[in-house]
């Protein structure tokens, strides 16, 4: 397989969606507590990464695309910290608005390890806003996005169910797709109002939810195919890329054989942390479509890039160099029906 990488620099990308503050509290085990049967950890260091739509954006920027983020955070410490991280990751944050009184979605992970060992996650604490950010702020962000679209090659929507990805944003995105541009949605809870886009990148659980079948059935290729075809019809998307965790990916839609294309997971198998792999998959698949690659080839690259990030702790990004190397030994496409493991 030719390992030449397309040049993503010069592509102008807008990412719109739910921005999350991923916080990592790295600790060392100290003792068993005498207060309760719990472990006592000594705080060693703290790290912040942009999560959700922020992680999609930083994956796009790491591959050289000029990336602007559209969304909201609270006017709180998590919102400030995630903005600093995004700037460090070269993501444009002029259209990430801070909302007084709204809570930035935050996932705080407590990691414990002896020095120079791989950290294990022991606990996660989520801060959740409870309600979407006020409609007038979201409308402001949408107006900014609408005004910018004439100079955008690709729009990626990242839904983490915190309220930014809904029908009004879907309408704007659909118009952009109807004008011949690439719009990719990484969906979460719902597809209503988000029809008519270029492609969707659900994981197996999300596909099962949209197709109203049990996720356990989707280990069978025929059920997976039926569910994907139902979601293609329902969403009127041109492609559905199903991410299947350690089973790789499957692709359905235009110019794909009816049974679908499948690809096995890429990488060495030394998986450290699968957090954010779906964000990388959506980012790279979208970028490849916008670069003019056909959808099966876009899946090969997305799968290779996702195989890179699962080998690092926390939500990571794949650089062009790492992607080029991963492509040297990347798995090949196969018909889904021949290639399913359960
Ligand atoms: N254990 C693994 N080994 C190798 N590759 C993996 C593994 N887990 C995930 N991947 C790669 O990452 C892709 C996306 O992962 P997954 O299907 O778990 O997405 P997701 O559930 O949306 O993840 P998240 O929401 O945490 O970002 C997979 O299609 C696969 O290519
Ligand atoms: Mg996901």
Neighbours of ion ligand 2 (CB under 5 A): 278
Residue 118 is assigned to a structural domain of this protein: no
121, part of any domain: no
- Residues near ligand 1 with C-beta < 6 Å? 203, 243-246, 248-249, 265, 267, 271, 274-279, 281, 303, 306-307, 310
CA–centroid distance, 136 to ligand 2, in Å, is 28
| Mean pLDDT, range 178-183, rounded to an integer | 98
Does 31 fall in a domain?
A: no
> pLDDT tens digit string along 314-341?
778 999 999 999 999 999 999 998 544 4
Output phi, psi for 29, to 5 deg: -65, 135
Q: Is residue 230 very low, low, confident or very high in pLDDT (cuts 50, 70, 90)? A: very high
What pLDDT score was predicted for residue 295?
Answer: 98
- Which of 303, 306, 339 to probe ligand 1 with, by most ligand atoms within 8 A of CB? 306
Q: Tell me, yes or no, whether 42 lies in a domain.
A: no
CA 317 to chain centre: 11
Q: Does residue 40 fall inside a structural domain? A: no
* Predicted confidence (pLDDT) per residue in 76-119, tens digit: 999 999 999 999 999 999 999 999 999 999 999 999 988 888 88
d(CA 124, CA 276): 15
* Mean pLDDT within 194-203: 98
Task: Tell me the percentage of the chain whose pLDDT exceeds 90.
Answer: 89
d(CA 111, CA 80): 22
Ligand nearest to the CA of 266: 1
Distance 202 CA to ligand 2 centre (A): 7
Q: Which residues are catalytic?
A: 279
CATH number at residue 70: 3.40.1190.20
| Cβ atoms 103, 113 nearer than 8 A | no
pLDDT surpassing 60 at residue 151: yes
- Residue 4: predicted pLDDT: 77
Of the candidates 238, 272, 242, which has an alpha carbon nearest to the alpha carbon of residue 256? Answer: 238
User: Could you tell me what percent of the chain has a pLDDT over 70?
Assistant: 98
Tell me the average pLDDT of the chain.
95
Return the structure tokens found at 325.
């190397």
Residue 27 domain flag: no
Residues 195-219, mean pLDDT to the nearest whole number: 97
Domain that holds residue 319: 12-21+51-104+130-339
Task: Return d(Cα 160, Cα 190) in angstroms, integer.
Answer: 10
- Residue 133 Cα distances to 94, 180, 185, 302, 323, angstroms: 17, 30, 20, 31, 36
| 117, 119, 122, 126 alpha-carbon torsion, rounded to 10° | 160
Within a domain: residue 123? no
Distance 151 CA to ligand 1 centre (A): 32
Q: What is the pLDDT of residue 306?
A: 97
Least confident of 171-175, 267-271, 276-280, 319-323: 267-271
How does DSSP classify residue 134? Answer: P
Q: Examine the pLDDT at 144 and tell me if it is beyond 50.
A: yes
Instruction: Report the domain count for the chain.
Output: 1
Confidence at residue 339, expressed as pLDDT on a 0 to 100 scale: 44
For residue 232, what pLDDT is reported? 98
Q: Tell me which residue of 88, 100, 158, 111 sits closest to 134, measured CA to CA.
A: 100
pLDDT over threshold 90, residue 159: yes
In a domain, 281, yes or no: yes
Per-residue confidence (pLDDT) for residue 338, from 0 to 100: 57
Task: Give the 3-state secondary structure of residue 72.
Answer: strand
Reported pTM = 0.96
């Amino acid at each position: 397989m030719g390992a030449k990488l397309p040049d993503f620099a010069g592509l102008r990308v807008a990412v719109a969606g739910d921005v999350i503050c991923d916080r990592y509290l790295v600790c060392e085990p100290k003792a068993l507590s005498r207060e309760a049967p719990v472990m006592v950890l000594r705080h060693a260091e703290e790290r912040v990464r942009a999560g959700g739509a922020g992680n999609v954006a930083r994956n796009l920027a790491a591959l050289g695309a000029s990336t602007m983020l559209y969304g909201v955070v609270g006017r709180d410490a998590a919102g400030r910290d995630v903005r600093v991280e995004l700037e460090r990751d070269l993501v444009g944050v002029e259209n990430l608005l801070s909302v007084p009184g709204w809570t930035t979605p935050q996932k705080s992970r407590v990691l414990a390890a002896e020095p120079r060992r791989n950290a294990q996650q022991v606990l996660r604490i989520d801060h959740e806003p409870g309600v979407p950010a006020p409609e007038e702020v979201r409308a402001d962000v949408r107006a900014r996005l609408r005004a910018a679209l004439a100079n955008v090659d690709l729009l990626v929507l990242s839904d983490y169910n915190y309220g930014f990805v809904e029908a009004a944003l879907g309408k704007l995105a659909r118009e952009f797709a109807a004008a011949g541009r690439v719009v990719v949605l990484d969906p979460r809870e719902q597809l209503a109002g988000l029809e008519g886009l270029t492609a969707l990148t659900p994981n197996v659980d999300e596909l099962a939810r949209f197709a109203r079948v049990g996720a356990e059935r989707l280990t069978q290729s025929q059920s997976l195919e039926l569910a994907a075809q139902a979601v293609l019809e329902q969403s009127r998307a041109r492609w559905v890329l199903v991410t299947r965790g350690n089973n790789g990916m499957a692709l359905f839609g235009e110019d794909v054989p009816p049974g679908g294309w499948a690809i096995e997971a890429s990488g060495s198998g030394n998986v450290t942390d699968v957090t954010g792999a779906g964000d990388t998959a959506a980012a790279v698949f979208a970028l490849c479509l916008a670069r003019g690659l056909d959808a099966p080839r876009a899946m090969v690259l997305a799968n290779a890039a996702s195989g890179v990030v699962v080998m690092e702790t926390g939500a990571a990004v794949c650089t062009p160099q790492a992607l080029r190397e991963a492509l040297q030994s990347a798995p090949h496409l196969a018909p889904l029906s021949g290639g399913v493991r359960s």
